[in-house]
Amino acid sequence: DAKTTQPTSMDCAEGRAANLPCNHSTISGNEYVYWYRQIHSQGPQYIIHGLKNNETNEMASLIITEDRKSSTLILPHATLRDTAVYYCIVTEGILTGGGNKLTFGTGTQLKVEL
Amino acid sequence: DVKVTQSSRYLVKRTGEKVFLECVQDMDHENMFWYRQDPGLGLRLIYFSYDVKMKEKGDIPEGYSVSREKKERFSLILESASTNQTSMYLCASIGQGPYEQYFGPGTRLTVT
């Protein structure tokens, strides 16, 4: 699986967009980009994933560069409840029987403040 | 909503004890996972199971075993707990669509 690089921490004002970058310069053609987040004392929560195209759902948008070597997770209107560690994961690793193996790094601690 | 539950939120055990961590999911998912999470190391995969009675080693299986007798239940076993197994343990499950893992709330295990 390709390695990812994320900033250790970021701050964002409440109501503003939070843009979380991820570098994955060694990504291969069949690897997906996943984003999860982990709020303190809870298990990780899936946010979004993509292969080549930009994706949007009710939680966030995912922008993947044309060369696929980096991506940005966008939370359009961050709230205090979005304070969490955000993990960018790149994997193609299909497990026996289906499902992707996810290797979580140390992520980005996003702090949303008033 | 998918629900993944773990038997305990907090557990304190002594060195050498046999420890069972239980995980139950209610969405008929085929794949289940056990991770541990330590500061500065992120989440690391211990074992996973893609069907009843099937299991495969993850990245750090040493000192652990697992059991999957029923589809909804996946147990992590520490045969002889050691202090370096003090950690947060997270269970997850995933259905046939391979895109989203659902995690339980975690069990914080302390081995003294």
Contacts of B101 in chain A (CB under 8 A): 36, 44, 46, 99, 102
Question: What does the pLDDT read at residue B50?
Answer: 86
Question: What does the pLDDT read at residue A93?
Answer: 59
Question: What does the pLDDT read at residue B22?
Answer: 97
Tally C-beta pairs within 8 A across A and B. Answer: 75
Question: What does the pLDDT read at residue A55?
Answer: 95
Report in angstroms the alpha-carbon separations of A96 from A105, B23, B102, B108. Answer: 23, 20, 18, 29
Q: Which tens digits make up the pLDDT trace of A60-98? A: 999 999 999 999 999 999 999 999 999 999 887 555 555
Question: What does the pLDDT read at residue B39?
Answer: 87
Q: DSSP letter string over A17-77?
A: PEEEEEE-TT--TT-EEEEEEE-TTS--EEEEEESSS-EE-SS-EEEE-TTSSEEEEEETT
Are residues B98 and A94, on separate chains, in Cβ contact within 8 Å?
Answer: yes
Q: Which tens digits make up the pLDDT trace of B38-90? A: 988 888 999 999 889 899 998 899 999 999 999 999 999 999 999 999 999 99
Question: What does the pLDDT read at residue B40?
Answer: 82
Q: Which of B6, B25, B88, B101 should be substituted to probe chain A, the one whose Cβ sees the most A Cβ atoms within 10 Å? A: B101
Q: Which tens digits make up the pLDDT trace of B15-45? A: 999 999 999 999 888 889 999 999 888 889 9
pLDDT higher than threshold 90 for residue A9: yes
> Which of B89 and A31 is assigned the larger pLDDT?
B89
Question: What does the pLDDT read at residue B97?
Answer: 58
Identity of the residue in A42, A46, A98 whose CB atom sits nearest the CB atom of B96:
A98
Question: What does the pLDDT read at residue A41?
Answer: 83
**Choice among A15-24, A79-88, A100-109, B6-15 with the minimum mean pLDDT:** A100-109
Find, in chain B, the residue whose alpha carbon is nearest to that of A33.
B99
> How many whole angstroms separate alpha carbon B93 and alpha carbon B89?
14
Q: What average pLDDT does the segment A19-29 reach?
A: 93
Question: What does the pLDDT read at residue A38?
Answer: 94
- Give the percent of chain A with pLDDT over 90: 71
